[in-house]
Copies of this chain bind each other. A is one copy, B any other.
């Protein structure tokens, strides 16, 4: 068995992949079984199916339903070693990745697929009052916050405070914000409807705030308008063209007025991981690393970047969007290309072929039985058929069979009953009263 990690002086690793998201995992899978030692580094021991994270935040799914141990996914790939660790930097001269624990992992080819994080546009003081949705811990914290607000409302005697506790504001009209708002409205107006004795959860206010003129700017206007209508039918108050001016423990300030809200969820901005800093490069204003068509980092031979952390332009010169399908296609492409380049007849010498993105359809779910799909070039789908397609696609994309069966079962059950199985308050209570 090859020894990719080699703390004991075995052959040094050749390919190091940082990040086990859709991109990094696809690279590792494409290299599985090759005669190349590969090391995959991630700060977690699991691959997270981020597109369904909002369902964990709204008690529809459990963390384990959308996360799969990385080692398990790659257990059949003896040439791929997995390291659970936090990357602190890259020493490009010595060709080694530095981990936070002080250890280093040498590489000959480095693939950076570290994704993106939330940004508060310089208002980091908003963060404690408005958690974002990037990790299982954050999803669990949001779930706890929403459910705890209803518990407090049930015991509140002051009508104003009760109303504040039953107001949830979602900031950001992108897919994350739209899906969160719709899912929270369902949770409050259906799943919790009969569970309280003093409050009526169906009167809970869910407000979706977007600074831009409309929702879902990545989608055609007609689909975005349909999505807005669907959300409003679910009871979501959509406020576009209104920028958030402040967020604190009492609520959100919009247009000079304070909207009292006990729960605020941040889905407004993402910024690429600090990979550019690691490489001493100037990122674009979203923090992304510019890459060549073959995904190689310009000016850093032997280093590649993909997914949300890379700025990759299509043939028309347009930057590719930060979508799971982009990262996954890039990862598969790069993994195969490296495999050929490093093991093929002309090993090492052949330049990598350019990446070409194939749009498999961009989707957003708007409530329990509606979704929108945009396949580009005017081809679209919306409503229940789109929801069915979305559900089918996401179930198939889930890594593990048992997960698929479990998620199918839960979706079916939840669809038939409006129930939410994972309504547990387990994270430490929110800091605010």
State the A residues within 8 Å of B (CB).
1, 3-5, 7-8, 44-46, 62-65, 67, 69, 71-72, 75-76, 78, 81-85, 103, 136-137, 140, 147, 151, 154-157, 192, 194-198, 400-403, 405-406, 409-410, 413, 417, 419, 421-426
- A102 CB → nearest B CB, Å: 12
B409 engages A421 (CB within 8 Å): no
Chain B, Cβ-Cβ closest to A4: B197
The reply to whether A64 and B424 form a contact with Cβ atoms under 8 Å apart is: yes
- Besides A67-B424, A402-B410, A405-B409, 8 more A-B contacts (Cβ < 8 Å) are A1-B197, A5-B198, A62-B63, A63-B422, A69-B423, A83-B155, A140-B426, A406-B406
By the criterion CB–CB under 8 Å, are A45 and B155 in contact?
A: no
3 smallest CB-CB distances across A and B, nearest first, come from A71-B195, A64-B422, A62-B62
Please determine whether A157 and B8 come into contact, CB atoms closer than 8 angstroms.
Answer: yes
Contacts of A195 in B (CB 8 A): 69, 71-72, 75
Q: How far is the CA of A405 from the CA of B413 in the complex (A)?
A: 10
Which residues of B sit under 8 angstroms from A402, Cβ to Cβ?
409-410, 413, 417, 419, 421
Offer 10 A-B interface pairs, CB within 8 angstroms, sorted by A: A7-B198, A45-B147, A64-B421, A76-B194, A81-B198, A136-B424, A136-B426, A137-B426, A402-B413, A406-B406
User: A421 and B403: CB pair below 8 A?
Assistant: yes
Nearest-neighbour CB distance to chain B for A24, whole angstroms, equals: 18
A426–B402 alpha-carbon span in the complex (Å): 20
Q: How far is the CB of A317 from chain B (nearest CB, A)?
A: 41
Q: In whole angstroms, how far apart are the Cα atoms of A417 and B64 in the complex?
A: 17
Once A405-B413, A421-B400 are accepted as A-B contacts, the answer to whether A65 and B63 lie under 8 Å apart by CB is no
In Å, the complex CA distance between A5 and B103 comes to 57
Q: Which residues does chain B contribute within 8 Å of A422, judged by CB atoms?
A: 62-64
How near does chain B come to A34, taking the closest CB pair, in angstroms?
15
By a CB distance below 8 angstroms, the chain B residues around A1 are: 197
A165 to B1 Cα, complex, angstroms: 23
Closest Cβ of chain B to A427, distance in Å, is: 9
Please name all residues of chain B whose beta carbon is closer than 8 Å to the beta carbon of A400 when the two chains form the complex.
Answer: 421
Which residues of chain B come closer than 8 Å to A65, judged between CB atoms?
62
Nearest-neighbor residue (CB-CB) of A81 within chain B = B197
Give chain B residues whose Cβ lies under 8 Å from the Cβ of A64.
62, 421-424
Identity of the chain B residue whose Cβ is nearest the Cβ of A85 in the assembled complex: B155
If A196-B71, A409-B402 touch, whether A425 touches B45 (CB-CB below 8 Å) is: yes
Q: Chain B contacts of A46 at CB under 8 A?
A: 423-425
Chain B residues, Cβ within 8 Å of A7: 155-157, 198
Cross-chain contact B103 with A155 (CB below 8 angstroms): yes
Contacts of A71 in B (CB 8 A): 192, 195-196
Query: Who on chain B is nearest to A3 by CB?
Result: B197
A83-B422 Cα distance, complex, nearest whole Å: 19
**A5 to B81 Cα, complex, angstroms:** 57
Residue in B closest to A74 when the chains form the complex, CB atoms: B195
Residues of B within 8 A of A426 (CB): 63, 136-137, 140
Q: Which residues of B contact A409 (CB under 8 A)?
A: 402, 405-406, 409
Tell which of B67, B156, B197, B424 touches A63, judged by Cβ atoms closer than 8 Å. B424
Q: List, in ascending order, chain B residues with CB within 8 A of A5's CB.
A: 154-155, 197-198
Please measure, in the bound complex, the distance between the C-alpha atom of A84 and the C-alpha atom of B195, giving whole angstroms: 13
A421 CB contacts on chain B under 8 angstroms: 64, 400, 402-403, 406
